Structure 1
């Protein structure tokens, strides 16, 4: 899932023969052929079955973005949301196709190394920076969930129906405590180790979350008895409980970035391809298509049932909306605890590839050093905590990350890599595949500019809907 973004030029990745191999990767780059042969996917013996590869890629897709989908639907309507969801899913599948074609030509298994083969060191640096920024955005979204949900869990355990001014109910203090006591010790480990097993647990938590959303749809009656600490009158209920199929408003600008953020998995495609048993492009494309289809269904069900529960009162973080109805609900409390544990354990998992990428960019070829290892972790956690404390809404994290790094990873870079890597004698620049790839990359630029423009207008206008403090 976004919760499992290990996009760092993974172990097992083949690199261009003319690029210096980092010391920590050397033991993982052995292959059957001699050093003079261009590495191919068949040079590596993958042991992962088709089913397990689908599970792994589904984990790479699934993540915190699912919590914002109902909010996106409330600002687009069901039909427009479905159209956008289908478009993003199809474009993600096409992006996987471009990456597999590019990788198959040069035998490279890492997103950053495709950047090196396409544009040299600047390409590698750009790809690594984009992946790093995206993972920082993902870490911020996880800690924002801790910031917003942990006080509600404490409130429920204390039997309180309203918040208090006590320090232990302040989300900003709580994320610092969680970071120092849990995340930092795990982030200081030399090897990832058993943290990787949070992958299955995280996906299980999200399935549990979906089940709870569907169940609550039939047990929460609209108009809500309590919302935002005031009663909802019958006069309000007509408009509040109306299903919209197509709508456009100021906050519709966040819909596409949220969807794009929820589908980013592309840095993980090539490492999963590496480990696939009997790897072929068609076989790996099937893995991508099935994974994207599965997440498409899960996303649409979550968005629909969440939206049909709260309608226009849906908040940017769906789980937080349930506290407006019953802060002491046992089922939602269990879901909160599961999600909190999952995201807390995932933060150090995501931090590892960021630190590794920074070490390769800033200290290439340097041997492991504890001081550098610790300082980078401390700096990253400090920056992420500062972002979470300063950013008022998780919607802004979804929006900015989804409008910048997500289109870069899904649209722009795969299209440019394809154009540069596929030989012109094989596919001329005027051939249909390369024209399509160029249009695909251009679409990413257009999407990025439009999203950032509309989000900027929303920020500067100061017009916010009253969504219970969101």
Structure 2
């Protein structure tokens, strides 16, 4: 017997006791039938997973974003984009509660029929496999001055990173991070100097086993560890504020033996509240995409204990709130350390002025491990999207699950090892897809599905999301194109 989404929701509500928090139930449907949830993930583990989906290597570029916009300007923009990210999650959860649909792809199908479902699935695959330009690093052996994302141009952090970009970072920087703990005479042609070999080892031994889990809740253990590493990063940035004098030394010897000349005067030690320049346009997309986690929200929601919209909204509020706090603290103290001379990748500055500092070396390794532990979490929605698009996702199959996992990781590994220049394509397409997933799709889907009048509060908010998302997408494309023109 065919029953539409609302009838399923009513039937499920009649059979489900109301949750004590807010009295809500959330019937979840999948492909036209009531779907049993993989429940069991605690509230705390869901927070860690969502935070891990939010935070990535982009945190390293936020101090530069503050230098480009000013402390007050940065604060206003960060509040704005975090609020919009929370609001778009609110709209997605509201649609789930209304329709009983449990996936981003099926919401696209509900709103725009099959083309919408395919579009969302492709967007998730592009965004999660590799959506940002990879760092242009030189893989010099034993060069400790190359940090986690060394050699970045200002625009590199303007779009978030997918799995291929993260693995490229690991391939480029893990050998240098290991060598930083060794004495110069110990460095040579050791096996750990080969970034490709290290990348294959960590992918097979760490990423693959974690990615095989059919439940995203299982990844909360590694997500909590990644959060601790990011917390350690923020603590080190705060502590090292008092280790580097202002004005900065004029002649600095880096670990590679070169000299960095800094024309730093006392007047430049005053923080700026507002900055409006061409660099501000480079910084805004970095902040706009700093809270992109929407591909992981609904999978986490599906496994949440006593799942209701109210509980999942609290998970989102806490996750984005804690991420906001870490973002702001690390950006503020990073900026107050280097002021206008802050590097587009924060750790580069510490390498120059605090060579072989144990805290800087350990925090570099900690950020790399956090990036590594983020890959399985990004992989989960990508695999889910691929299975939905290719096989319909009607019932779980270990064979399909294993084949999909191996195929996606193999593609990502090949891209990271052999085709780093493909990041140019991902940069253009990924910046558009990221903007759509974060702002445009939630707004359009709400306007199409909710049935609310255009003058209602949420409908007006959805329209504003779409407009803001289009602006961010165009701005990101312009940043990338201008950089290509300059580099050529």
Instruction: Return the match for 1:131 from 110, 124, 137.
Output: 124
Q: CA deviation at 1:411?
A: 0.8
User: Are 1:192 and 2:217 counterparts?
Assistant: no
Q: Following TM superposition, by how much is the alpha carbon of 1:390 offset from its aligned partner in structure 2, in angstroms?
A: 6.9
Query: What does residue 92 of structure 2 align with?
Result: 99
Contact 2:226 2:373 in 1 (8 A): no
Residues 1:150 and 1:168: Cα distance change in structure 2 (over 3 Å): farther
Q: 2:56 aligns with which of 63, 69, 74?
A: 63
8 Å Cα contact 2:164/2:415 also seen in 1: no
Q: Which residue of the partner structure matches residue 203 of structure 2?
A: 183
Name which of 138, 160, 166 aligns with 1:142: 166
Consecutive unaligned residues of structure 1, counting only runs of 5 or more, are 1-15, 20-30, 464-470
Partner of 1:219: 243
- The correspondence for 1:120, drawn from 113, 117, 125, is 113
TM superposition shift of 1:281: 3.0
1:257 touches 1:400 (CA, 8 Å); kept in 2?
A: no
Distance 1:104 1:217, change over 3 A: same
Question: Structure 1: how far apart are the matches of 2:265 and 2:244?
Answer: 14
The structure 1 residue matched to 2:486, chosen from 461, 465, 468, is 461
Equivalent residues in 2 for 1:353-364, closer than 5 Å:
353-364=381-392
Query: Secondary structure at the residue paired with 1:236?
Result: coil
Matched, 1:76 2:63: no
CA displacement, residues 275-325 of structure 1 (integer Å, 9 cap, x when unaligned)? 444444334323322322222121110101111112233223222332112
Scaled by the length of structure 1, the TM-score of the pair is: 0.77
Cα distance in 2, alignment partners of residues 460 and 325 from structure 1: 32
Matching residue within 449, 464, 467 for 1:442: 467
Count of aligned positions: 421
Residues 71 and 151 of structure 1: CA distance in aligned 2, closer, same or farther (over 3 Å):
farther
Q: Which residue of 1 aligns with 2:433?
A: 405
Q: Which residue of 2 aligns with 1:290?
A: 318
Evaluate the alpha carbon distance shift between residue 296 and residue 375 of structure 1 in structure 2; reply closer, same or farther with a 3 A threshold: closer
User: Deviation at 1:131?
Assistant: 1.5
Q: Residue 354 of structure 2 corresponds to which residue in structure 1?
A: 326
Aligned to 2:134: none
CA distance 1:108–1:200, change in 2 (3 Å): same
Report the CA distance shift for 1:148/1:375 in structure 2 as closer, same or farther (over 3 A).
closer
Distance 1:167 1:73, change over 3 A: farther
- Runs (4+) of structure 1 exceeding 6 A deviation are 16-19, 31-34, 166-171
List aligned pairs for 1:22-61, cutoff 5 A.
40=27, 47-61=40-54
2:414 corresponds to: 382
2: CA distance between counterparts of 1:198 and 1:319? 24
Name the residue aligned to 1:433: 458
TM-score, L = length of structure 2: 0.75
Further displaced range: 279-288 or 357-366: 357-366
